[in-house]
Structure 1
Amino acid sequence: MDKLVAGAGVGPGSILEVRVELIDSVPGIWRQLEFRGAMALNQVHRVLQVAFGWEDVHLHRFTAGDPFAPLRPVDGEVPDVVQWLPGPECEEPADRPEEGCSLEQLLALGAGAAFYEYDFGDSWLHRLELVSRRPADKDTPPARLTDGARRGPLEDSGGFPGYEQIMDTLADPSHPDYAEHSAWVAEITGPDEPFDPAFLDIPAVNQALAKTF
């Protein structure tokens, strides 16, 4: 696993269709994305930030399995979770540089699935599942959003418990915290447009992705 290099053994012309869903989101918040299979994980991170509307102001990591699933002890000790981080943040024996692993390699390690956690405080956990693979042509972009549901949660909203509480408050103008929460949301999203948690602007996301690469 230490010798993985982005693109090694991977067809450069492969396109991966991947469904990415936020764990525990009800209603589901998900994206159907196309990636070049040889894309390194640091670039996948950038795509996911754009696709879910994150602001890239917190730590993140990739894992081949659920990072919170119980691990079976080995020789009486619970092994550390192998995780892919930005190179400068790799400090522990189980840390791997995300720049040296491709998306296709990570999905292969996870038997077609992998995980991306953003913001270790709010712990927004995304599950990536490989849907299909096909050859790419010269006009295929490095990444593209093809489908999805709902906008991403608000940054620093306290994970799903906090975000759901904010959404419940905004849905009830008579709630005592309505004015405070409305002002906070407007400060984050801007006062020009009403906040709609169900709206996903796919063309806008793809325009942003086109500027990313």
Structure 2
Amino acid sequence: MDIFNARAGADQDTILELRVELVDSEPAIWRLFQLRSSLALNQVHQVLQAACGWEDAHLHRFTSGDPFAPLWPVNGQFPEVLQWIPAQECEEPGDRREEDCSLDQLLALGSAGAFYEYDFGDSWLHRIELVSRRPGDDASPPARLIDGARRGPLEDSGGFPGYEEIMDALADPAHPAHAEHASWVADITGSDAPFDPAFLDIPAVNRVLAEQFRRTQSGEKHGN
């Protein structure tokens, strides 16, 4: 079986406990999931979007290693950092379809976990680490968030420097940009309620995940 072009079989399905943390977040923004090992990477992408409260409005990729780490030659050649992207974005010979690779296969390629990058402008880079593995069972949902800390950063906030600047302004009513940033945050979130970057609504995330997979399974049953 070609590890780059096939998903894990259902008879191999296990439940993976994964810790996903936004690289360079301070305080740390992280999530702890239970995910089925056979999930394709496009499904994992949707899970991570829901867990961060994002809208899937930008490009993304999965990589087998840190895409920004310095590379050192091995036998005179620089090692390739493998990446998986949506099928419609595949243009280069080395591009791999995320729909054709399972979560388990991705993790098997990286000695220190794997990475997911969302929005190549803001560059929200996530480190994915395997915590534990157990046999699958019919009672376990395909994806469940079991723990975590802090909201995901706001879309289009300019990476961590921009996001931190916005949060500083929101926290200080006397800040000269307070009103401007408060208005922008209300527009992005669709709410005038105070924005709390430390708040994470785990039950709400799990409701979204359950609905996502319910729609997927319903579509498969109807041949969509």
- Residue deviations 1:189-211 (CA, integer Å, cap 9, x gap): 12342211000000000000000
Distance in 1 (CA, whole Å) between partners of 2:89 and 2:148 is 31
In structure 2, how many angstroms separate the alpha carbons of the residues matched to 1:149 and 1:123? 20
The 5 A counterparts of 1:39-188 are 39-73=39-73, 78=78, 80-111=80-111, 113-188=113-188
1:26 shift after superposition: 0.3
Q: What is the TM-score with the length of structure 2 in the denominator?
A: 0.89
Letter in 1 for 2:143: A
Aligned residues: 212
Q: Which runs of 5+ in 2 are unaligned?
A: 214-224
- Structure 1 vs Structure 2: percent identity of aligned residues? 69
1:71 Cα shift? 1.8
- The equivalent residue for 2:38 is 38
User: Distance in 2 between the 1:9 and 1:46 partners?
Assistant: 20
- The normalised TM-score by structure 1 is 0.94
Alpha-carbon separation, structure 1, partners of 2:4 and 2:150: 38
2:218 maps to what in 1? none
Higher mean displacement: 36-45 or 110-119: 110-119
- Which of the pair is proportionally richer in helix? 2
Partner of 2:6: 5
Report the residue type matching 2:6 in the other structure.
V
Shift of 1:114: 0.4
Q: Is the 8 A contact 1:10 1:38 kept in 2?
A: no
C-alpha displacement at 1:7, in angstroms? 1.0
How much has 1:145 moved relative to structure 2?
Answer: 0.2
SS of corresponding position for 1:17: strand
Structure 1: runs of 5+ lacking an equivalent: none
| DSSP 3-state at the match of 1:205 | helix
3-state SS of 2:165 partner: helix
Q: Which runs of 4+ in 1 moved over 6 A?
A: none
Task: Give, in whole Å, the separation in 1 of the partners of 2:103 and 2:63.
Answer: 11
Q: Distance in 1 between matches of 2:144 and 2:180?
A: 37
Residue 148 of structure 2 aligns with an amino acid whose one-letter code is G
Give yes or no for contact 2:10–2:38 (8 Å, CA) kept in 1: no
